[in-house]
């Protein structure tokens, strides 16, 4: 529920706080978000600690999982199917695509069920509901940074230097990845409050999404007449940007990348508006 707080004074001079729904949409109430920044920090910290609590291997999982995925993808797609990777070693090629993709899957997977998983908080306490999906998207950045630490030894093994100007653009593409995850999370988390089958559908959607995203194959393998349609997938621009910055490959298709960025912008703005509209009924439906 998008709430508006009023203070009434009764005859006993005791202030009473009344919370009611606003008539107009406020897609982004920055002052309210800032006022509840401590709650936001707590939710992010809780997301991180719960993930590693009572885990025997703890942080090691964030290192073992990408290494295992790299080994399997290299064996299947490079050795057996002989998928090309341009001038870059396939191990680095697939890892540069896995880094943003794993973060995207984790952020959307957690974010889609974030409101339902915090039903008691949403139904009983007033705060900007936007804090919950945003915290679910920010928390997986810790996993990303842990996995990212593997990039440097792998680059050194294959005689690739991270000391190149393009490498400094990685934060830009990481920000685009975060915005992509957030845009989907806003839609899915709000829908999941009303339709609980959104959770299982999200897992299925992400599995299919993997095959239309150039994680294990290069974009130039896609037929040229489908390149622009392919670029509607916002993760295409993200992964192309990561590979360009990490592998120092030829310049990507900036038109296709622009299409991906535009799609993210549309999804993000419309997601904020849709979330604000649905927010007014969260407390009653959840």
Contacts of 163 (CB under 8 A, 6+ apart): none
Query: Which residue, chain included where needed, has tokens 């839609």?
Result: 187
- CB-facing half-sphere around the CA of 253: CA atoms within 13 A: 16
**Are the C-beta atoms of residues 245 and 269 closer than 8 Å to each other?**
no
CB-count exposure of residue 196 (10 Å: 0-12, 13-18, 19+): exposed
Average pLDDT value for residue range 132-143 = 93
pLDDT in tens, 159-170: 887 777 888 889
Examine the pLDDT at 5 and tell me if it is beyond 90: no
> Domain for residue 89, yes or no?
yes
> Domain for residue 18, yes or no?
no
Range of the domain at 229: 28-285
pLDDT at 30: 75
Examine the pLDDT at 1 and tell me if it is beyond 50: no
pLDDT in tens, 75-93: 999 999 999 988 889 999 9
Examine the pLDDT at 17 and tell me if it is beyond 60: no
Examine the pLDDT at 32 and tell me if it is beyond 60: yes
Average pLDDT value for residue range 109-137 = 89
The structure's pTM equals 0.86
Alpha-carbon span 143 to 191, nearest angstrom: 26
pLDDT at 3: 46
> Domain for residue 170, yes or no?
yes
**Are the C-beta atoms of residues 239 and 213 closer than 8 Å to each other?**
yes
CB-count exposure of residue 207 (10 Å: 0-12, 13-18, 19+): exposed
Per DSSP, which regions of the chain are E strands? 3-9, 15-21
> Domain for residue 250, yes or no?
yes
Average pLDDT value for residue range 31-45 = 87
> Domain for residue 151, yes or no?
yes
pLDDT at 224: 86
- Count structural domains, the chain: 1
> Domain for residue 182, yes or no?
yes
pLDDT at 54: 61
Alpha-carbon span 210 to 224, nearest angstrom: 20
């Amino acid at each position: 529920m998008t709430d508006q707080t009023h203070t009434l004074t009764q005859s006993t001079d005791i202030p009473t706080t009344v919370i009611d729904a606003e008539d107009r949409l406020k897609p982004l109430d920055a002052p309210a978000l800032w006022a509840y920044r401590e709650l936001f920090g707590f939710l992010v910290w809780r997301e991180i600690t719960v993930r590693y609590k009572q885990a025997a291997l703890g942080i090691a999982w964030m290192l073992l999982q990408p290494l295992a995925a790299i080994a399997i993808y290299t064996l299947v797609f490079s050795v057996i199917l002989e998928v090309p990777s341009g001038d870059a070693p396939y191990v680095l090629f697939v890892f540069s695509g896995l880094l943003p993709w794993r973060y995207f899957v984790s952020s959307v997977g957690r974010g889609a069920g974030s409101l339902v998983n915090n039903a008691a908080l949403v139904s009983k306490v007033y705060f900007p509901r936007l804090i919950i999906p945003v915290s679910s998207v920010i928390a997986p950045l810790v996993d990303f940074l842990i996995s990212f630490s593997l990039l440097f030894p792998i680059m050194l093994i294959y005689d690739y230097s991270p000391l190149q100007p393009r490498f400094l653009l990685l934060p830009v593409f990481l920000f685009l990845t975060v915005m992509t995850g957030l845009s989907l999370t806003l839609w899915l988390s709000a829908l999941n409050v009303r339709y609980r089958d959104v959770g299982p559908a999200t897992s299925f959607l992400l599995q299919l999404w993997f095959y239309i995203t150039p994680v294990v194959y290069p974009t130039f393998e896609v037929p040229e007449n489908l390149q622009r349609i392919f670029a509607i997938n916002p993760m295409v621009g993200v992964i192309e940007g990561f590979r360009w910055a990490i592998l120092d490959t030829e310049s990507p298709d900036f038109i296709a990348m622009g299409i991906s960025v535009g799609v993210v912008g549309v999804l993000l703005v419309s997601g904020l508006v849709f979330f604000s509209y649905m927010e007014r009924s969260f407390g009653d439906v959840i």
